[in-house]
Chains A and B, each alone.
Chain A
Amino acid sequence: MNGWKKAGVAIVLALFVLLVQGTLLRSFLPGFLIPNLMIVLVTFIALNDDSVSGALVAFFCGLLLDLNSGLLLGPWSAACILIFGVLTTLQQRLFVESALALAVVVSVASLAASAVVGLLLWQFTGPEARIIPLILSEALMSALVSPILFPILRRWLVSRREAGLGGNRFRAART
């Protein structure tokens, strides 16, 4: 799959993730049990597609979250692109072959994203410490679902040929 076609599929997936997270999961689960699936998707893209199109998809994923909240544009897109940038930089040094290592990477990414969003939102809404337990549980839930979701995302976004090439970028998905 070429980069832009992959980006197209990722954008459709991002819209689907937004629907699942904002409608389906919120109907069934209390807030503290809902993972941040968009961060899982961005982490996957960062570990598997270190290209300009990947960066644009990560930015778009964040922008979708911003547009969904309807309050400010930018905090989530900044968080997602920052996660993408950091993970693609560290990609060669990350050996996320086990489910546990992958879960740790996703939970750290989720916490980092929350920190960035929190910092940017606090400029306009003031500090709100009560959300911290929710952020921690969100990171935990995201970590728990990532070993299940990564193989599914790999099937959608990484072709067999690419997967056969080996290298760290595809090892991440083999959990």
Chain B
Amino acid sequence: MGSGVNNRTRVAGASLLLFSISLFLTAYSARNPALVSVGSGAVAELLSPVQRAWRWGFSGVAGVWNSYVAVWGARQESQQLKERLAALEQQNIKLQELQHENKQLSSLLQLKQESELSGIVARVIGYDASQWVQSLTIDRGTSDGVVIGAAVVEHNGLVGQVIAAAPNTAKILLITDPASGVDGIIQDTRARGIVEGAGPSQCRWRFVVREDEVRVGDRVLTSGMDGIYPRGVIVGTIDAADSKRSGLFQAIEIKPEVDFASLEQVFVVRRSDGVVGPVRPLNQNSAVSGADQPNTAPKKKRGS
């Protein structure tokens, strides 16, 4: 009985101590993002070999699955054609995979040529395990020149920015995460505001004054004024806009251009000086006035 009470006290004490440490860590890591970056990079490096192998194998598994579905229909028509059809389907799937990959790479290359962006192509190898943070892991890291703060795009539009980098992997904070911020403008009217994440497939556009003309379907681009994202990359289209509500600013919803659920390859933007990093070095932000240079780095860094 006594030892049971002692054990319970010990466990309760340890739990309380660890809970306090967790709260301290939360506050400390918010002010010291480098701590998270190092730890996060280490875990990503540890898991990346398995994640790479899985991603590599996933295409094969998906191919087998698609093949099965296709063969099932053929079997009903003719049992004799099954084997031949399966072989042809396998070949077809391989070709489709190659075509798909080719199309993606061509689109990235086109984006690179059209917007004069340079950088490196990276493959998505993992996502955040919880629903709370919208982030993903790519198979390129500091050994490829990736640095924290680098903008990440896809042929369709803006993806996010690098928040942690290890030698062979990097973590990307998606623009749909509430901690993300992008300085955006409307292509036609040049209305300006900050695009913030609002969940798995939605963003909201904040600080757009009521006088600015915003219509559903308008395209939002990066302004390039935040020193992180290159100018002119598509962020998304206006999904809903309410200028009649009370307050100084409009309530605007943005549908991101990128389908984050099916993201396979991304493009990490290289600066003009060759570094795969933010368009302008982050430490130059302080030299620019606040009006011209809104802080769109992850919010946790605001305190640092």
Residues of A within 8 A of B (CB): 15, 18-19, 21-24, 26-27, 30-31, 34, 36, 38, 50-52, 54-56, 58-59, 62, 64-78, 81-82, 84-85, 88-89, 114, 117-118, 120-121, 123-126, 128, 130-131, 134-135, 138
Interface of A is mostly: helix
Given A23-B54, A74-B24, A125-B179, residue A52 in contact with residue B14 (CB < 8 A): yes
Q: Place the interface of chain B in its size category.
A: 35 or more
Bound together, the chains give a CA A75 to CA B15 distance in angstroms of 15
In the assembled complex, B43 has its CB within 8 A of some CB on chain A: yes
Interface of B is mostly: helix
In the assembled complex, B261 has its CB within 8 A of some CB on chain A: yes
A67 to chain B, nearest CB (A): 4
Residues of B within 8 A of A73 (CB): 25-26, 28-29, 35-36, 39
Report which of B11, B40, B42, B200 forms a contact with A55, defined as CB distance below 8 A: B11
**Stretch of B104-112, B122-130, B272-280 at the chain-chain interface:** B122-130
Q: Is the CB of B43 within 8 A of A67?
A: yes
Q: Is the CB of B12 within 8 A of A85?
A: yes
Report which of A15, A54, A62, A123 forms a contact with B22, defined as CB distance below 8 A: A62
Q: A69-B129, A72-B300, A125-B177 are in contact. List 11 more A-B contacts (CB 8 A).
A: A22-B137, A23-B126, A38-B129, A50-B7, A68-B44, A68-B130, A71-B163, A73-B28, A81-B19, A123-B26, A124-B300
Report which of B21, B125, B131 forms a contact with A31, defined as CB distance below 8 A: B131
Residues of B within 8 A of A52 (CB): 10-11, 14
In the assembled complex, B297 has its CB within 8 A of some CB on chain A: no
A and B contact pairs by CB, cutoff 8 A, 30 listed: A21-B129, A22-B126, A26-B126, A26-B127, A27-B54, A31-B261, A50-B11, A52-B11, A52-B14, A54-B11, A55-B11, A59-B21, A69-B135, A70-B37, A71-B300, A74-B22, A74-B23, A76-B130, A77-B18, A77-B21, A81-B22, A89-B8, A120-B26, A124-B299, A125-B177, A125-B300, A126-B178, A130-B202, A131-B199, A134-B131
Report which of B25, B43, B298 forms a contact with A68, defined as CB distance below 8 A: B43
Residues of A within 8 A of B58 (CB): 27
In the assembled complex, B16 has its CB within 8 A of some CB on chain A: yes
Chain B residue with Cβ nearest A20: B129
Q: Is the CB of A134 within 8 A of B200?
A: yes
Bound together, the chains give a CA A19 to CA B46 distance in angstroms of 10
